[in-house]
Amino acid sequence: MDNANPVVYARTTERPITPGMLNEDLADQFDAREVFDLIRVINDPEHPLTLEELGVVSEAAVQVDDPANQISIEFTPTIPHCSQATLIGLSIRVKLIRSLPSRFKVGVRIAPGTHNSEEAINKQLADKERVAAALENTHLLAVVNQCLGEMREH
C-alpha cells in the first residue's frame, strides 16, 4: 500500500431537492455538482473509503459546459508517487462513460503538480484507444467494477 495512513475528509451533504427540480416544465442543466455526485462515490482501490473522503476529487475540480458538451475533471492522488493513480483515473472515466449522455466529451486529468508521472498518466487517460483496450482486459475491468461497485455508495 502506497499511503497507509491517508488524510480523511468529510463527505458533502446530499444535494437538496428544490421545487424547480420537481417541476416537469423546467429542464435541469448539467452542472459541476451533478457530475461531482457521480464520481465522489467511487471507491478507492486500496482503502475502504471513497474518492471524496480521500480528497482525490472535489466539486471545484469539476468543470462542466453543458451547451458545449464539454466536461473536464482534475483529480489529486493522495501522494505524488501513488501507483494507483492510473486506475483511479480510469475508474472516473468509466463511471462517467456509463453515467453521462454520449454527447459529452469528457477529459480526466491529474491536477497539475500532484503526481510524479503526471504527464504519462494524463496521456494514457486521454487516449481513447488505450482506455478501450484496458476495458477489454477482463482482469482490469473487474478491478474497475470493484471501484464502481455500490457497496460503499452513499
Largest CA distance in the chain: 50
Grid coordinates representing 51 are: 474518492
Contact range with other proteins by CB under 8 A, out of 52-60, 83-91, 101-109, 122-130? 101-109
| Rounded-to-integer distance, Cα 91 and Cα 57, Å | 12
**Under rule CB under 8 A, residue 17 binds other proteins:** yes
Contacting residue, 60, 68, 98, 129, with other proteins by CB under 8 A: 98
> Do 93 and 49 meet the contact criterion of CB atoms below 8 Å apart?
no
Contact range with other proteins by CB under 8 A, out of 5-13, 21-29, 51-59, 120-128? 21-29
**Of residues 30, 35, 36, 31, the one with CA closest to residue 57:** 36
Contact range with other proteins by CB under 8 A, out of 23-31, 56-64, 84-92, 116-124? 23-31
Grid coordinates representing 71 are: 466536461
Q: Contact residues for other proteins (CB under 8 A)? A: 17, 21-22, 24, 27-28, 34, 37-38, 95, 98-103, 145, 148-150
